[in-house]
Amino acid sequence: ESVRTPRGPRQRILLNLGTLEIPPGEWKELANRIEALYLGQATLAPPAPHLEALARHYAGLLRQQEFSRTAWEAPPAAQWETVDLASLATGECRTLGGEAVALKAWEELGFPKILADLNFSPPQVQLAALLVIGRLLHPGSERQTAVWAKDISALGELLGADFRYLSNNVLYRLADRLTARRAEMETRLAQQAKALFSLGEKIILYDLTNTYLTGRGHENSLGQRGHSKEKRTDCPLLTLALVLDEDGFPKASRVFPGNVSEPATLLGMLAALRQQVQPPPDRRQITPTVVLDAGIASAANLAAIQEAGLHYVAVSRSRPREIPQEGLVVIKESAAATIQVKRLDQDGEVLLYCQSSARGRKETAMRTRMQQRFEEGLQKLAAGLEKPRGCKDYEKITLRLGRLRERYPSIARFYDLEVQPQDGQVRRLAWRIPDPEQIQARFSGSYYLRSSRRDLGDQELWSLYMMLNQVEEAFRALKSELGLRPVFHRLDRRLEGHLFITVLAYHLLAAIQRRLKQHGLSHRWQTLRTRLATQMRVTVSLTNDRGERIYLRQTTDPEPFHLEVYRALALPPKPLKTKRFQA
């Protein structure tokens, strides 16, 4: 455009269009259409579709550029203009509510300072915020995060960053850098959360989960076949180990191959635990207690925990042969379930027998279903022996019996199978349950807790173990709400990066939910995310009586739900002020 200067009229470049893949003969028509869209003018004849698409793209970039040059200013008490209401237009809507909430948690947890201390530059800190907040609000791959930042979210405006020309590779490389500083970041975040929320850190919850990869996983060593908790036996798996405190805040995480042995993971995490939680120097203070599930609670692991100066509460991997029938004490009774326990002191630790009526009903139903299916398979094989053309070959029958045992291993081990061969064929197939009481005990809803905390009562020991439900809740949030699954990457460092970014997003989620819970708000994150997204950033434009186009970049008014959340988090009703310019 032409502008007046003290030295006379001069040309000013408004926007560099880059390389245009259209004939030079269409350049003038494109420029005219960009100008018409920018000034809100109508055209007599619409241009060709490809020119219209280009013109709208460049007009939007031009408006964004002008808004980025405009300083934040408090509007005067009143501003009057005579405008043509028919010229009113709105556009460039971007979500703002969830971004403001997530950015508040990002700053409270000290992410900017932590990253700056780890030699991340200011632009890299902004990109890290995009990666983590994007995973919290719009779970997906780095490619999806880049599209979200450009076309859906107002996070760039909140950060004062320009994400219009963001590439996927920049996000990939930054995720690699973040993952390389995992240990330092997790230690600093744990310290900041402890100071911010006065966390006790007396209980340490440790558990594992897995997620699945797309593709075959041939280009990495972490993706391995294993037991999928989501029944994705067709995909390679990754294992995530997570440490939480009693308040649900993450303390440490590690990524293991999908076929890793559960007990083997704890020894690698104990070093991180020693950095995160130190045994108290004063004996009068309470030593932290590690809570484990049965799959991890091997004898070697429990000994290692005690060597680290920590206590443990875990489900026993073995069961006494005799089940207590007398002396049971009710520690919890409700309409849903009754919990009875009996305490046994042995070998320097506490053994607590627990009987849950709700768990008993569930396990009885499971046993009935599996037992029925297992015996139906046996009956089918036995019936084939009586048919003229039925399968009687000894090798085939034993192979099918083996497959049947593999399909129902938890019930098959209680059966004795008798196969009578004769001349390479099976003459008779019989089965029986030699010890019905043993199968009844296995599916009775009972389990044993073992602990080094001999100072705790029965109710306290059982309550400590039930805190593992917080880890399960964290895994549900990671998978269902934060995009832990599936993983689309091929390289080991990118696989670890995907899981670590998701864990960092969970740090934000834990902080947000803690603040809201302090004010009596207990919404699931999916509900919060959806409803907060209805407050948006929008561009409004009108033409005044002088033919000037007025552009306003505004935040929509908050609704009662937004105000309730913002008050709890000490956020202003409108996270961004209005910007205005005239063309």
Distance from C-alpha of 20 to C-alpha of 164, rounded to nearest angstrom:
18
Distance from C-alpha of 147 to C-alpha of 168, rounded to nearest angstrom:
9
Distance from C-alpha of 492 to C-alpha of 225, rounded to nearest angstrom:
15
Give tens-digit pLDDT for 235-253.
899 999 999 988 889 999 9
Distance from C-alpha of 76 to C-alpha of 470, rounded to nearest angstrom:
51
Q: Are 542 and 101 in contact (CB under 8 A)?
A: no
Residue 54's pLDDT is: 84
- Phi, psi (rounded to 5 degrees) for 233: -70, -10
Q: What SS3 state is found at 185?
A: helix
Residue ranges of the chain assigned to CATH 3.90.350.10: 182-329+339-355+449-489
Tokens 């809201």: give the residue.
516
DSSP sequence for 33-74: HHHHHHHT---SS---HHHHHHHHHHHHHHHHHHHHHSPP-P
Tokens 């009972």: give the residue.
446
Distance from C-alpha of 547 to C-alpha of 371, rounded to nearest angstrom:
82
Distance from C-alpha of 315 to C-alpha of 213, rounded to nearest angstrom:
31
Residues of the chain with pLDDT under 50: none
Q: Are 409 and 374 in contact (CB under 8 A)?
A: no
Distance from C-alpha of 131 to C-alpha of 439, rounded to nearest angstrom:
50
CA 501, 507, 509, 510 dihedral sign is positive
Number of residues in the chain: 583
If you compute the radius of gyration of the chain from its CA atoms, what whole number of angstroms results?
32
Type of residue found at 142: E
> To 10 degrees, what angle do helices 182-197 and 492-518 make?
0
Q: Are 79 and 537 in contact (CB under 8 A)?
A: no
DSSP sequence for 191-207: HHHHHHHT----EEEEE
Type of residue found at 522: S
Cis peptide bond N-terminal to 320, omega within 30: no
**Strand runs (DSSP E) across 189-283, as ranges?**
203-212, 237-245, 250-257
Tokens 């915020």: give the residue.
129
Residue 11's pLDDT is: 81
Type of residue found at 360: G
| Fold of the domain spanning 182-329+339-355+449-489 | Transposase Inhibitor Protein From Tn5; Chain A, domain 1 (3.90.350)
Q: Are 99 and 158 in contact (CB under 8 A)?
A: yes
The enclosing H or E element of 426 equals: strand 425-432
Q: Are 465 and 449 in contact (CB under 8 A)?
A: yes
Whole-structure pTM value: 0.80
Residue 31's pLDDT is: 84
Type of residue found at 7: R
Residue 365's pLDDT is: 94
Region of 67 (left: φ > 0; alpha: ψ -120 to 50; beta: rest) is alpha
Q: Are 174 and 127 in contact (CB under 8 A)?
A: yes
Q: Are 292 and 259 in contact (CB under 8 A)?
A: no
